[in-house]
Structure 1
Amino acid sequence: MITGLGNVTPLSGTQALLPEAGTARSTTGDAFSEMVSELATNTVARLERAEGVSLQALEGEADTRAVVDAVMSAEQSLQAAIAIRDKIVTAYLEVSRMAI
């Protein structure tokens, strides 16, 4: 299960494939960029939280379980972000190879 995607809802039916004329960029493009932005923000927040909990553990203020949970959550979010980045790059390369 991918975490950190927030309230992303999948588009269904032909609405996702055939948006109204003139609104394709404003609705689909903005929704995609907002999703990617939210993913990046959540990933950074989880990484910062894991770092903070680790520092608290070094000071004796947090237990090992909290550190492991925070680090595992951060790692999972980072792996999801990397996988999505790789898919975006692959899609871009495929589109750039298309003959016009």
Structure 2
Amino acid sequence: MIESITKTSALSGMNGLDSLSSSFSTKGLTAEGTTPGTATGETFMAALNNMAAQAAGDLKQAEQTSFDGLMGKANTREVVDAVMQAEQSLQTAIAFRDKIVNAYLDITKMQI
């Protein structure tokens, strides 16, 4: 019965993280438009891109480990650890999203 489980992604509907990480780009940035912080290290866009990619990777790893647990290839501890890591990454991504949305709403409420 376990062998008949098809390996369809439970997270296939959550392509938002993948599209979020691919939507960040550095087009339009020129040498004159850079700030001192961008010349010395990682940009904010790159940090968000890395965070989104890491969260998506954690979710995919947890899903794979869960399938392995169903098939008897992974023990319960490995499955729980992977799911807990994915949950933590997802909660972090949600917190960042909420902060960005709140900042955007605050900016739109400002009077010019």
TM score, norm. by length of structure 2: 0.65
| Greater relative contact order structure (CA < 8 Å, 6+ sep) | 1
Of residues 26, 35, 38, the one that matches 1:27 is 38
List runs of 5+ in structure 2 lacking aligned partners: 1-31
TM (norm. structure 1) is 0.72
**Over aligned residues, Cα RMSD in angstroms?**
2.1
Q: Name the counterpart of 2:67.
A: 55
Q: Which residue of 2 aligns with 1:89?
A: 101
Note closer, same or farther for the CA distance 1:25–1:81 as it changes in structure 2 (3 Å cut). farther
Cα distance in structure 2, aligned partners of 1:50 and 1:57 = 10
Identity of aligned residues (%): 49
Partners of 1:65 and 1:22 lie apart in 2 by: 49
- Tell me, yes or no, if structure 1 residue 67 matches structure 2 residue 79: yes
1:1-54 CA distance string (max 9 Å, x none): xxxxxxxxxxxxxxxxxxxx74239928x7111111111000000000000000
